[in-house]
Chain A
């Protein structure tokens, strides 16, 4: 295997972006899942469609929308620009792109976890004196941990592979915004760098396997805990 310093930087950046994107999306994902599963309100269908949209849209389209939104003339871009925080073509843009693209996967898993909770457990908790937020923290959160874990690892893995949206909002700047898929894309376009591309592919496979193993182990541990 051959890795140059730029590759190491790409690996580091990929892990950082995936981790940050998952961490950023998690609270929103949990809150929206809770809203969808446990509350009744008008326009729930619209919200569900909006959440799931990135799953069906081409990532490039999402990237383009994000560019419009976060660019110098976009709604959010203007505000950020005024407060001196540049987003576009930085690693932060890659985080936002990954978070947007992976979000539906996260919400799907957490929702499944929450939907498997028996409604009467929640009713029992409320009738025993727990306010809704208390029930959320002591019953719903622990009982949807598996869904949260599954969703997080899925989203982490999806973020590692994010390409289309990232290349549009973050660019492909080695050492700054170049993640593993972008680096592989670079290598793949020149015939002399096949070995380099293969090395990074191998790293990709390795990380994915580790993520899946961790996911399985955590799932088992949670199983054991609930069987105690």
Chain B
């Protein structure tokens, strides 16, 4: 998917002025609330008309002031998943799901409802009224409804913000699998760094109505390490653990991670803040932290006075964060050998 936007829109005292060209299948739009992310979504989908400029999707002109083109939303074939599920309250789940499908031209109907219903596990919900669904179920139906419209592009406008943490990470695999399975490129809009890291390959950073950077999730996480209260978030997808002395032992590269919160016989995703990793120059003989690894410094980066140390640990990578004076005292440079300690309780289970 290739998207080219060069558009301006004034709304009251707010002015959105975006000029960018992105290509890829999993693109993120990152920015604080009020930065203009949702306005951009509206411009791309045709729900709002830019004051001037042009918007191209895969070389097809969706909007252009100079050429006098403004394709109506229904002809753009760009579906949206909103923050709230926005299911039609007067229709049952099945009619909601098929709303877009029924309006899609036969030659564009690539995705069959049965396949999607199976993938999103929606069968038991079909005959229900939408008011009786839980938040997570509603969002799954909304996702299914958008996908069944067989769009060329899916816009996800903070689709997880209204859900609590547990549900959020239950929905993410669905969001990813649906787009991978059916080959639908998406723009994922969010202000959550973790969601960006899990959902996107390429990110546009928006601030005050302007596109200030084009980056990768990892680069963005590094840049924001100092301002983020949790530092840089290491995401660790781990395979099935075994139980050792009341802790869960997860295989991780050539090492084993001991984690206090886990689930037997199930894969899990953990988050580890860069601030929870303690670095030692020499092997500390005795330490209460249950995880101690020998590692080498693969890379170092700066983020507003903090130093990010990218550690190579038995074939895996971790980012630790220290203050500049600590880096100087320990004489850390790329290639240094260090020991990293992490408490078993420092890992936060996401899913």
A binding-site residues for B, Cβ under 8 Å: 118, 120-121, 123-132, 134, 138-139, 142-143, 225-228
Contact between B72 and A226 (Cβ–Cβ < 8 Å)?
A: no
- 18 sample A-B contacts, Cβ–Cβ < 8 Å, listed by A number: A121-B88, A123-B42, A123-B47, A124-B86, A124-B88, A126-B46, A126-B72, A127-B47, A127-B74, A127-B76, A129-B100, A129-B103, A129-B149, A130-B103, A139-B88, A225-B90, A226-B90, A227-B131
Q: How many A-B residue pairs have CB under 8 A?
A: 74
Contact between B90 and A120 (Cβ–Cβ < 8 Å)?
A: no
Nearest opposing residue in chain B for A227, CB measure: B131
Contact between B90 and A127 (Cβ–Cβ < 8 Å)?
A: no
Contact between B149 and A128 (Cβ–Cβ < 8 Å)?
A: yes
A35: shortest Cβ distance to chain B, in Å? 19
Q: A120-B84, A139-B88 are in contact. Are A125 and B99 (CB under 8 A)?
A: yes
A226 contact set on B, CB distance < 8 A: 89-90, 129, 131
Contact between A128 and B90 (Cβ–Cβ < 8 Å)?
A: no
B77-107 CB mask vs A (1 if < 8 Å, else 0) is: 1111010101011101000000110011000
Contact between B103 and A124 (Cβ–Cβ < 8 Å)?
A: no
Nearest opposing residue in chain A for B77, CB measure: A129
Contact between B89 and A127 (Cβ–Cβ < 8 Å)?
A: no
Q: A139-B88, A227-B131, A228-B92 are in contact. Are A128 and B82 (CB under 8 A)?
A: no
Q: A121-B88, A142-B90, A227-B129 are in contact. Are A127 and B79 (CB under 8 A)?
A: yes
A-B pairs, 8 with minimum CB distance: A128-B100, A129-B103, A228-B129, A126-B73, A127-B80, A124-B86, A142-B90, A128-B149
Contact between A124 and B89 (Cβ–Cβ < 8 Å)?
A: no
* Bound Cα distance A138, B100 (Å): 12
Nearest opposing residue in chain A for B146, CB measure: A128
B42 contact set on A, CB distance < 8 A: 123
* Bound Cα distance A143, B87 (Å): 12
Contact between B86 and A120 (Cβ–Cβ < 8 Å)?
A: yes
In the complex, whether B45 has a CB less than 8 A from a CB of chain A is yes
In the complex, whether B9 has a CB less than 8 A from a CB of chain A is no
Nearest opposing residue in chain A for B47, CB measure: A123
Contact between A128 and B129 (Cβ–Cβ < 8 Å)?
A: no
Contact between A124 and B82 (Cβ–Cβ < 8 Å)?
A: yes
A134 contact set on B, CB distance < 8 A: 74, 103
* Bound Cα distance A134, B104 (Å): 13
In the complex, whether B4 has a CB less than 8 A from a CB of chain A is no
A79: shortest Cβ distance to chain B, in Å? 38
B binding-site residues for A, Cβ under 8 Å: 42, 45-47, 72-74, 76-80, 82, 84, 86, 88-90, 92, 99-100, 103-104, 129, 131, 145-146, 149, 155
Contact between B100 and A131 (Cβ–Cβ < 8 Å)?
A: no
Q: A130-B103, A134-B103, A225-B90 are in contact. Are A124 and B80 (CB under 8 A)?
A: yes
A127 contact set on B, CB distance < 8 A: 45-47, 73-74, 76, 78-80, 146, 149, 155
B47 contact set on A, CB distance < 8 A: 123, 126-127
* Bound Cα distance A121, B45 (Å): 14
* Bound Cα distance A209, B89 (Å): 31
Q: Which of A120, A126, A129 has the most CB of B within 10 A?
A: A129
Contact between B89 and A143 (Cβ–Cβ < 8 Å)?
A: yes
B277: shortest Cβ distance to chain A, in Å? 42
A38: shortest Cβ distance to chain B, in Å? 13
B78 contact set on A, CB distance < 8 A: 127
Contact between A125 and B88 (Cβ–Cβ < 8 Å)?
A: yes
B92 contact set on A, CB distance < 8 A: 228
A117: shortest Cβ distance to chain B, in Å? 9
Contact between B74 and A130 (Cβ–Cβ < 8 Å)?
A: yes
A131 contact set on B, CB distance < 8 A: 72, 74
Nearest opposing residue in chain B for A120, CB measure: B86
A128 contact set on B, CB distance < 8 A: 74, 79, 99-100, 103, 145-146, 149
A123 contact set on B, CB distance < 8 A: 42, 45, 47, 73, 80, 82, 86
A28: shortest Cβ distance to chain B, in Å? 24
B82 contact set on A, CB distance < 8 A: 120, 123-124
B153: shortest Cβ distance to chain A, in Å? 10
Contact between B74 and A129 (Cβ–Cβ < 8 Å)?
A: yes
Nearest opposing residue in chain A for B90, CB measure: A142
Nearest opposing residue in chain B for A129, CB measure: B103
A126 contact set on B, CB distance < 8 A: 46-47, 72-74
A124 contact set on B, CB distance < 8 A: 80, 82, 86, 88
Nearest opposing residue in chain A for B142, CB measure: A124
A132: shortest Cβ distance to chain B, in Å? 8
Sample of 4 more A-B contacts, CB < 8 Å, known A124-B82, A124-B86: A123-B45, A126-B47, A129-B104, A139-B88
A152: shortest Cβ distance to chain B, in Å? 19
* Bound Cα distance A123, B43 (Å): 12
* Bound Cα distance A226, B132 (Å): 11
B79 contact set on A, CB distance < 8 A: 127-128
B90 contact set on A, CB distance < 8 A: 142-143, 225-226
* Bound Cα distance A129, B148 (Å): 11
* Bound Cα distance A130, B103 (Å): 7
A143 contact set on B, CB distance < 8 A: 89-90
Q: Which of A128, A134, A139 has the most CB of B within 10 A?
A: A128
* Bound Cα distance A173, B115 (Å): 70
B22: shortest Cβ distance to chain A, in Å? 20
